[in-house]
Every structure is written in structure tokens, then in C-alpha cells.
Amino acid sequence: MISVNDIKNGMTILFEGNIYTVLEFSHVKPGKGAAFVQAKLKNLRSGSIIEKRFNSGTKLEKAMIEKVSMQYLYANGDSYNFMNMETYEQMELSKEQLGNDIYYLKEGLDVLLSFYEGELLGVMLPEKVELEVTETEPAVKGNTTNNATKDATLETGLAVRVPLFIEKGEKIVVYTADGKYASRA
């Protein structure tokens, strides 16, 4: 058990039967009344974000999250196969477990899987991934508008907006947090 006064950003805690990551916190000492800690917490099971006020003397249980380095191998229908890079054990995850992360998975990609007592909490992708453009409209000569973009479909099925100069077959870098174009590869 840890005191609420000792929490830090990024710490994982157990609270009301759920596992949360502390996104932000602030110690507040109002003019009247007792001090408290205002925290913004992200539920690691559902992804929802809540704000919670804790009294200064509250004790919380720290959750021990295990992060395992895995490499994405291949997809087989609606299942996605990963391999532990230390033990060479393979693990199969479903499309439902991965959610929208499937659009960033490319064979050979290294990811971190986070577990709490054997329960998969999520996949931690790299900040950016390199993917090939499989479909896009050709550039129109003379269209020189600043920041003009067009639709493109990538090898994983992800649809993004790219600058006009990007052509089919090019490799681009995409942010995994929001799926936006970052640069040419």
C-alpha cells in the first residue's frame, strides 16, 4: 500500500477493483479544510479516463504490471501471432483484444504487451511505424495549395491523409497514437 501523497505520473494503481494509470495529479491545499490530491486516471481495461479526488490520508494499492517484449509474426484470419523474444514462446491474440492496433502491425514489428496477473491489458506500439502506400490518387499537376492532402490506403488497411506528392508504392511513417502522416520513410 502506498499513500496517495506518493503517487507519480505513469504509476499504476488498483482502485475500486480496476487497474488505473495515473495520467496527471496535483496536491491541493485549500484555504479551509483538509488537503487532497486531484488525479486524472486511465482505466487500463476499458480505456476510459476519470478524475478522482483523494483525501490526503488515503492508501492505495500499487498494481505490478508486467511488460513483455514481443515481436509480431503474422495474422491468421482474426488471430494475430506474437513471439516472446526471450523465451521464443508464441502467443495468439484476437482482433477484439487488439482493437484498432491491428492497423499498425507489420511483420517483424517489436511491441510491448502489458499484463496484470496473467490478464492482457494492452499492446504498447512504437510511437511511429513505417508502412507502404497501396492505394492513392495520382498527384494533380499545378495544385500547389499549402498543406493540401489526399486520401491514401496503407498495406495494413489503414486510411490516412497524405501530402499530394506521395505516390502509390512509397513507404511513409505514421504516428500510432492518432494514425496521422508523419513523413516519408
Tens of pLDDT, residue by residue over 117-146, are: 888 888 889 999 999 999 998 876 666 666
149 near 161, Cβ under 8 Å? yes
Q: What is the mean pLDDT of the chain?
A: 88
- Are 104 and 90 members of one domain? yes
7 and 51, same domain (yes or no): yes
Which amino acid is present at 159? Answer: A
Q: State the total domains in the chain.
A: 3
Query: In terms of domains, do 86 and 112 share one?
Result: yes
| 31/46 same-domain check | yes
pTM: 0.74
CATH number (domain holding residue 46):
2.30.30.30
Full domain range(s) for residue 150: 128-184
SS3 21: strand
Sign of dihedral through CA atoms 136, 137, 138, 140? Answer: negative
137 and 96 within one domain? no
38-85 pLDDT, tens digit each: 999 998 888 889 999 998 888 999 988 898 999 999 998 889 999 998
pLDDT of residue 143: 61
pLDDT at 109: 92
d(CA 139, CA 86): 46
- Domain CATH for 110: 2.40.50.140
